[in-house]
């Protein structure tokens, strides 16, 4: 049986289905006989949990997993935790499990109330910590990835990142979850660790211990596997491994008829600086500056921003680095940036809208980019543009920033390129007018799909409707690409997730996209796919695709074409 879900982490995996939700006893609501004994039990549950996290930290190599585990440990070593739980036990004369539950539930509620996706994810981490401490309290043996000895596919109603806190990852062949999306914490981790994952699966259809197949490239899980099928799957997985080996040699994205496409990286993560020179990327197509603003209590200074941009630009050695000005708001909030409560934050005070109202703040960020432009090939990109007026207003502030630097005799590139994200449908629809104002476009499908189909990109209940092959979305993309083709000196890239989708690549090569900007870990893979296509032939195929009216038909045709071209690699 094939269960269709949402593709999150690429790759294929075969393993025994292992449910990881450990059922805990019901919380004891009665009056405890011995309060001191309860306090002692709680304290040792916390200490044992801290010890577990310390052991995990010591065994991990991966920096993301390490910092996640540090966060969990820090929650438990906070000076007030034991005291607060002890007070609850004494006040309510209750058992320790109720006091633990109350303590963590309060923390979870506080985080969830913050209306910020990043912190909501942290609330899930706190749920994990609660689960751990309660398991210790009850002496229930939790799922421990360190004990895995055979290939498994982990399954949960709502998977949390805890299951990946191990150096025993080689046995984890896939992750299946009912809830969660591409941008959830566990989703991002599986992508960066290269573990196939599919979400949105009704896990009631899976049986513990049964051999199952997960296809993270296409987004499904298959059960009831017969011998013949298992052999076929094993062959497929072997060719995936072969592909991974072949990727070592990938250098450029040149189609079989000789056209060279650019494949750049999306980043903004300081820990990726060193990888810039290790990966054969053609530049940075999207530097998300908001990462430098989040998790801080005061805004970063111009000097700090300048140093960061300079270090990346220098590492790129002349390759282009597109720095996107601050895209704050929506689900990304900072304590020092006053956005206020909004009924629809994604349609609210976000990105360029906030920056244009806070001219000095915006100018500081622009000056940092301009200063760095003296040290590399830097371009500026404005996010969430919805009109020509916004571009012109932003450019006026940019001119002021340039003038102030000139007055201070500070060097910068006077001819720095300025582009916009095409992520609001109105802009895609008037792409021919917008392109006259800028040097380049970068199509942000993550938002373009959400806004043009009215599907909240973070809402797992409707994630099946989040479709970039919706013919309406394809038309907006095509319109944006076509608008740039009248100019020899302008270009169009894409920095949304669609640019890394094997089927998306076929469509985009056929429509004439110039630059693909993708997660740094997928640069080689995207180059490999492009180099297996013939540009002319793909263009003809895509022309014929434009007549189809349903996503199903479009995907089926793309899939057939991809199977032919990518062969064993698809
Ligand atoms: C996009 O919207 O496609 C994009 C790349 O921007 P972000 O995901 O940061 O909103
Ligand atoms: Mg966006």
Residue 423 Cβ inside 6 Å of ligand 1? The answer reads: yes
Q: For the chain, list the domains and their CATH numbers.
A: 2-21+144-245 (3.50.30.10), 35-138 (1.10.274.10), 250-569 (3.20.20.60)
Q: Determine which helix (DSSP H) or strand (DSSP E) holds 367, and give its type and residue range.
A: helix 359-372
Report pLDDT for 240.
Answer: 81
Choose from 10-14, 106-110, 256-260, 500-504 the range with maximum mean pLDDT.
Answer: 256-260
Tell me, in angstroms, the distance from the centre of ligand 2 to residue 518's CA: 13
Mean pLDDT of 488-507: 95
List the residue whose alpha carbon is closest to atom 8 of ligand 1.
Answer: 446
List the residue whose alpha carbon is closest to atom 3 of ligand 1.
Answer: 444
pLDDT in tens, 333-382: 787 898 888 999 899 999 999 999 999 999 999 999 999 999 999 999 99
Residue 446 Cβ inside 6 Å of ligand 1? The answer reads: yes
- Based on the residue annotation, tell me whether 495 is a catalytic residue of this protein: yes
List the residue whose alpha carbon is closest to atom 4 of ligand 1.
Answer: 444
Choice among 156-165, 208-217, 261-270 with the minimum mean pLDDT: 156-165
Burial class of residue 481 in the structure, from the number of CB atoms within 10 Å of its CB (0-12 exposed, 13-18 middle, 19+ buried): buried
Report pLDDT for 183.
Answer: 62
- Based on the residue annotation, tell me whether 185 is a catalytic residue of this protein: yes
Mean pLDDT of 8-27: 89
Residue 450 Cβ inside 6 Å of ligand 1? The answer reads: no
Residue 72 Cβ inside 6 Å of ligand 1? The answer reads: no
Which has more confidence, 197 or 296?
197
Position in ligand 1 atom list of the atom nearest CA 496: 3
Position in ligand 1 atom list of the atom nearest CA 288: 9
Q: In what order do the strands lie in the sheet with 6-9?
A: 2-4, 220-222, 211-215, 12-19, 152-156, 172-177, 197-199, 6-9
Residue 329 Cβ inside 6 Å of ligand 1? The answer reads: no
123 with 156: CB under 8 angstroms?
Answer: no
What φ, ψ does residue 18 adopt, rounded to 5°? Answer: -130, 110
**pLDDT surpassing 80 at residue 570:** no
Residue 494 Cβ inside 6 Å of ligand 1? The answer reads: no
Choice among 84-88, 333-337, 470-474 with the minimum mean pLDDT: 333-337
Residue 187 Cβ inside 6 Å of ligand 1? The answer reads: no
List the residue whose alpha carbon is closest to atom 1 of ligand 1.
Answer: 444
- Beta-carbon contacts of residue 231 (< 8 Å; ≥ 6 apart): none
**pLDDT surpassing 70 at residue 115:** no
For strand 12-19 and strand 6-9, is the pairing parallel, antiparallel, or unpaired? unpaired
pLDDT in tens, 520-550: 888 999 999 999 999 999 999 999 999 999 9
**Band (98; pLDDT cuts 50, 70, 90):** very high
Choose from 25-29, 298-302, 437-441 the range with maximum mean pLDDT.
Answer: 437-441
Mean pLDDT over each residue of the chain, to the nearest integer = 92
Q: What are 165's two structure tokens?
A: 């806190």
368 with 362: CB under 8 angstroms?
Answer: no
How far apart, in whole angstroms, are the C-alpha atoms of residue 557 and residue 560? 5
Percent of the chain with pLDDT over 70: 98
Please, how many CA atoms are within 13 Å of residue 548, restricted to the half-sphere of its CB?
A: 17
- Beta-carbon contacts of residue 321 (< 8 Å; ≥ 6 apart): 283, 284, 287, 309, 312, 313, 376, 377, 378, 379
Percent of the chain with pLDDT over 90: 70
Give the number of the ligand closest to the Cα of residue 496.
1
Residue 288 Cβ inside 6 Å of ligand 1? The answer reads: yes
Name 15's bridge partners: 212
Q: Among residues 94, 334, 355, 495, which one is catalytic?
A: 495
Which has more confidence, 570 or 448?
448
Q: Among residues 17, 94, 131, 185, which one is catalytic?
A: 185
Using most ligand atoms within 8 A of CB, pick from 294, 446, 477, 522 the residue to mutate for ligand 1: 446
Report pLDDT for 117.
Answer: 67
How far apart, in whole angstroms, are the C-alpha atoms of residue 219 and residue 199? 8
């Amino acid at each position: 049986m094939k269960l269709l879900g949402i593709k999150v982490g690429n790759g294929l995996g075969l393993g025994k289905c292992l449910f990881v939700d450990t059922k805990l006893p019901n919380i004891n609501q009665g009056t405890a006989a011995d309060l001191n004994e309860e306090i002692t039990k709680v304290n040792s549950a916390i200490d044992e949990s801290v010890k577990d996290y310390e052991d995990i930290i010591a065994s991990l190599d991966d920096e993301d997993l390490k910092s996640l585990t540090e966060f969990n440990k820090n929650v438990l070593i906070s000076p007030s935790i034991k005291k607060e739980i002890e007070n609850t036990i004494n006040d309510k004369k209750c058992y320790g499990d109720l006091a633990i539950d109350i303590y963590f539930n309060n923390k979870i509620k506080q985080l969830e109330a913050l209306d910020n996706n990043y912190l909501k994810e942290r609330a899930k981490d706190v749920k994990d910590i609660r689960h751990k401490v309660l398991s210790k309290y009850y002496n229930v043996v939790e799922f421990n990835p360190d004990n895995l000895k055979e290939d498994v596919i982990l399954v949960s109603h709502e998977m949390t990142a805890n299951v990946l806190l191990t150096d025993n990852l080689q046995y984890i062949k896939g992750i299946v979850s009912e809830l969660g999306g591409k941008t959830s914490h566990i989703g991002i981790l599986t992508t960066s660790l290269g573990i196939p994952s599919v979400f949105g699966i009704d896990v009631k259809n899976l049986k513990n211990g049964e051999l199952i197949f997960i296809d993270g490239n296409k987004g499904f899980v298959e059960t009831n596997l017969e011998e013949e099928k298992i052999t076929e799957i094993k062959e497929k997985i072997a060719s995936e491994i072969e592909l991974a080996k072949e990727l070592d040699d990938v250098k450029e994205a040149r189609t079989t008829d000789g056209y060279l496409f650019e494949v750049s990286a999306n980043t903004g993560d300081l820990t990726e600086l060193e990888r810039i020179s290790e990966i054969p990327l053609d530049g940075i197509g999207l530097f998300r500056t908001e990462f430098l603003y989040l998790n801080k209590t005061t805004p970063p200074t111009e000097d700090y921003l300048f140093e960061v941009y300079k270090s990346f630009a220098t590492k790129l050695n002349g390759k282009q680095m597109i720095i996107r000005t601050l895209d704050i708001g929506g689900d990304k909030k900072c304590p020092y940036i006053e956005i206020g409560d909004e009924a629809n934050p994604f349609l609210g005070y976000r990105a360029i809208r906030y920056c244009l109202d806070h001219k000095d703040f915006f100018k500081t960020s622009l000056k940092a980019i301009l200063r760095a432009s003296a040290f590399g090939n830097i371009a500026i990109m404005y996010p969430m543009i919805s009109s020509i007026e916004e571009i012109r207003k932003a450019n006026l502030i940019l001119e002021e920033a340039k003038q102030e630097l000139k007055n201070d005799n500070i060097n910068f590139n006077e001819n720095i390129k300025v582009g916009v994200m095409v992520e609001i449908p109105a802009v895609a629809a008037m792409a021919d007018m917008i392109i006259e104002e800028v040097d380049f476009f970068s199509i942000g499908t993550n938002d373009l799909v959400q806004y043009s189909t009215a599907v909240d990109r973070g809402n797992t209940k409707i994630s099946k409707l989040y479709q970039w092959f919706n013919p309406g979305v394809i038309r907006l993309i095509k319109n944006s690409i076509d608008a740039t083709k009248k100019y020899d000196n302008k270009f169009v890239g894409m920095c949304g997730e669609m640019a890394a989708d094997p089927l998306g690549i076929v469509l985009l090569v056929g429509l004439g996209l110039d630059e693909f900007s993708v997660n740094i870990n997928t640069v080689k893979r995207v180059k490999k796919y492009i180099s297996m296509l013939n540009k002319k032939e793909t263009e003809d195929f895509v022309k014929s695709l434009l007549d189809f009216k349903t996503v199903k038909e479009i995907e089926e045709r793309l899939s057939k074409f991809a199977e032919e071209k990518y062969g064993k690699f698809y």
